[in-house]
Chain A
Amino acid sequence: SAVISQKPSRDICQRGTSLTIQCQVDSQVTMMFWYRQQPGQSLTLIATANQGSEATYESGFVIDKFPISRPNLTFSTLTVSNMSPEDSSIYLCSVEERGSDTQYFGPGTRLTVL
């Protein structure tokens, strides 16, 4: 399976600031996704990162709050903008390899907003 890395692994941020999370895959993948996992909860899809075009956001998530880039088939970023304590969560990227429904997750970024 693809090897996925995320940076940073964790961060503590002040209210009102922004944080950009990077997701890097060691092979070209068709689909990349961003999820949020709030403490003790399940995974919620934020958006699908589309290569070369705007991301597709799920209900409840907007581009102004969570801008996403995907400049190529192996890299994507998620920015959490104008953060509040409610944004404290684990943010995970996942990838779906070519010709497969199987998704693999990155190690996650643990974000704490004070």
Chain B
Amino acid sequence: GENVEQHPSTLSVQEGDSAVIKCTYSDSASNYFPWYKQELGKRPQLIIDIRSNVGEKKDQRIAVTLNKTAKHFSLHITETQPEDSAVYFCAAITTDSWGKLQFGAGTQVVVTP
């Protein structure tokens, strides 16, 4: 089955700097890669996703890149703000997995003013 590894486990950045979280996956058939943000005590919220036919996607300060050959994808947050502090999870899914998301271990991002 699919295995998703996520690094780093914690990330501290100064407000205004950029943050990058990297994930690798094992199943070359994976074709959909969402990113979720989970604030303390809240549900995971989808913040951006990318499909295997696209190499990069951007939404304001957030971008995701996908390298299918290397089987890794990354989340980039620019101009970080204190409200970006949360746990971020990457995930992967394959077409024949009937919607089953395989999550990474998560990255605790702390943005200090």
Contact = CB atoms under 8 A, between A and B. Distances in A.
Interface of A: 31, 33, 41-45, 48, 56, 58, 92, 94, 96, 101-108
B11 to A, nearest CB: 16
B25 interface: no
Contacts of A103: 34, 46, 99, 101
Task: From A31, A42, A58, A107, name the one whose CB has the most chain B CB atoms within 10 angstroms.
Answer: A42
Contacts of A45: 100-101
Contacts of B98: 31, 48, 56
B55 interface: no
Interface in B20-67: 32, 34, 36, 42-46, 49, 51
B9 to A, nearest CB: 11
- Secondary structure call for the A interface: strand
A107 B99 contact: no
Nearest to B36: A105
A47 to B, nearest CB: 10
Contacts of B93: 101
A31 B104 CA distance: 21
Given A31-B98, A43-B44, A108-B43, A102 B34 contact: yes
